[in-house]
Structure 1
């Protein structure tokens, strides 16, 4: 049987090549008149269909802190430019694909008032100020697109011909799903975790992609310095700050909706602290249970959290994390680019 080569465009404009064996053409079609010969090439048109939800989200980029971190850590690691391009592309692909999952079911449960948020992942109507992908392309197509990109990212890493990077990829993708799984379990079963369990989850879920980037760079660098402890602190700062801003920042509300973590029923860092400050008061737990979109109820919840000292406590924790990150940064000899990133993540009382 003749050999055929199939090509499909990658997200960075390059081409993935695959090989296959085409079936021999049947000279005499059957009564159906169909030709059962296997197609010899994957077309660009089909590729665009599969990548539709992914490319839709790509059209509305965020601040791209992961690329900023990669560039900052490369001041130390000096990864070759061609390798760094692959790593940056892989991390960007995984981040965008994971967002397709993370924000998938926020809109689903708003369609049915009796629906609990059990469907797929988080439950957001807006991402970066525009409708989430599944509201445009549908749930099934969005899930398939995200999964497809996960494997495209793996194919990209294979280009590096470094067995260590495939091991790192597997480890951190497992961590990402472990973190996401616990986050969903607490939310869907109305279980309030301890702050320690929450921070462990954050280290797996949010910190996973940060850590993946730096570990891939370390595996491709001549340096033997270990920057993972530092990037772990940065991941914690990023997520705890995001939790804080979700409930306190007017700019955040304009892009992602007003106090969306309350509507989602999410046990974020401030919410966990407030609940555990007075476990006998079930008001906040019951508000989470309602998945409310009522702005007055959400404002009441924020006022309650203010009374429990939650926002002041969260700012204190962020300041401690920032201090620890800066101590590690200086221990590695200092890095102006990383210092600027930490500066941008500082939280003031008036946001």
Structure 2
């Protein structure tokens, strides 16, 4: 086919008018393939269950709740696409990770695109928010001439999370998530074992970031209990979940099937039991040398797990920490008037922990 260079004679004029460029459903589907791939094989949906649990207290209107669920799902699955690349993972939920099928460039681009789709979803909450935060008229529609100090405080002003600050809230927590992930990667790649306190603070940022986004959106759109701060409980659940995940990665047959046997050792990751094992006997560099080698075969992994189990008692210590965190979470639920849905989640997490590899 012969090129038609004449099409460029008045090219500037075509850029001044309405764009004829149309983004098609076919193009959208192709771009989202890595995301569609990972979401077609869902996990345990803990995040959506937590949404339902917290909403038992907060009673978010159904339309807003649907938006919050979509935002949480988009951010969560996009972060998994990136996380699998950064960890050079092989399996996610028992199947090959997306970037092994679609490649790193496309998977990264898709994950970034999905982050912006989440912000686009978030924008659907803004019209109601703007109306509520700019309205100053009393319910009877008449002007209120009373001095400001005598006017009743509007309900939305008493919220722990102001509903007009959602973009700021989400952005701040995404920064926390990436800071935590960044430290986790930095420690791994420089072979620097963090202190236990440093590790817990990192988890509070990394794992807690997405949970806090979700709960803060719920709190901002709530119709009940708008003056109660649920973020300390959210942080506690996030830290509990990550420490439990670290334990299960090295001890659970189910995790071995879904992600590979003791995958944290292959990634060179300083997980909670590993940090304890290193700090418990700092003069013994066995674990550090194993992490440096990023072992793929089971021999070194079995040896390291036996060392953590029998020599440093790191799994016993981890279970003891989990028991303390579980007890505090249940105490907080009771203090907040109880929540059967969240209690069930804690029950399921607690029951799963002893399912050990031989």
TM (norm. structure 2) is 0.83
- For residues 146 and 258 of structure 1, the distance between their equivalents in structure 2, rounded to whole angstroms, comes to 26
Shift of 1:123: 1.6
The CA distance in 1 between the partners of 2:314 and 2:60, in whole Å, is 42
Partner of 2:77: 96
**3-state SS of 1:266 partner:** coil
For 2:200 and 2:39, locate their aligned partners in 1 and report how far apart those are by CA, in whole Å: 29
Match of 1:342 among 317, 330, 346: 346
TM-superposed CA distance for 1:167, in Å, is: 1.2
Q: 2:323 aligns with which of 319, 323, 328?
A: 319
What are the equivalent positions in structure 2 for 1:171-210 lying under 5 Å apart? Answer: 171-210=172-211
Distance 1:341 1:184, change over 3 A: same
For residue 125 of structure 2, give the secondary structure of its aligned residue in structure 1: coil
2: CA distance between counterparts of 1:51 and 1:32?
33
> Is 1:52 the equivalent of 2:53?
no
CA positional deviation for 1:32: 6.8
Residue number among 272, 275, 286 corresponding to 1:272 in the alignment: 275
Deviations 1:110-145 (A, max 9, x none): xxxxxxxxxxx1121000111111111111000000
Does the 8 Å contact 2:244/2:353 carry over to 1?
no
Q: Which runs of 5+ in 2 are unaligned?
A: 130-163
**1:211 CA displacement:** 1.0
Matched residue, 1:113: none
Q: Distance in 1 between matches of 2:241 and 2:50?
A: 12
Q: Which string of whole-angstrom CA distances, capped at 9 and with x for unpartnered residues, describes residues 12-34 of structure 1?
A: xxxxxxxxxxxxxxxxx634789
Deviations 1:279-337 (A, max 9, x none): 01001100000011120110000000012110000000000110111111111000000
**Contact 2:41 2:93 (C-alpha < 8 Å) held by counterparts:** yes
Q: Which has the higher contact order (CA 8 A, sep 6+)?
A: 2
Report if the CA contact (8 A) 1:237-1:345 is conserved.
Answer: no
Evaluate the alpha carbon distance shift between residue 88 and residue 286 of structure 1 in structure 2; reply closer, same or farther with a 3 A threshold.
Answer: same
- Please state which structure has a larger fraction of its residues in strand: 1
Q: Which has the higher helix share?
A: 2
Question: Which residue of structure 2 lines up, in the alignment, with residue 215 of structure 1?
Answer: 216
- 1:132 is aligned to 97
Deviation at residue 35 of structure 1 after TM alignment: 9.7
Runs of 4+ in structure 1 off by over 4 angstroms are 31-38
User: Which of the two has higher C-alpha Rg?
Assistant: 2
TM-superposed CA distance for 1:235, in Å, is 0.4
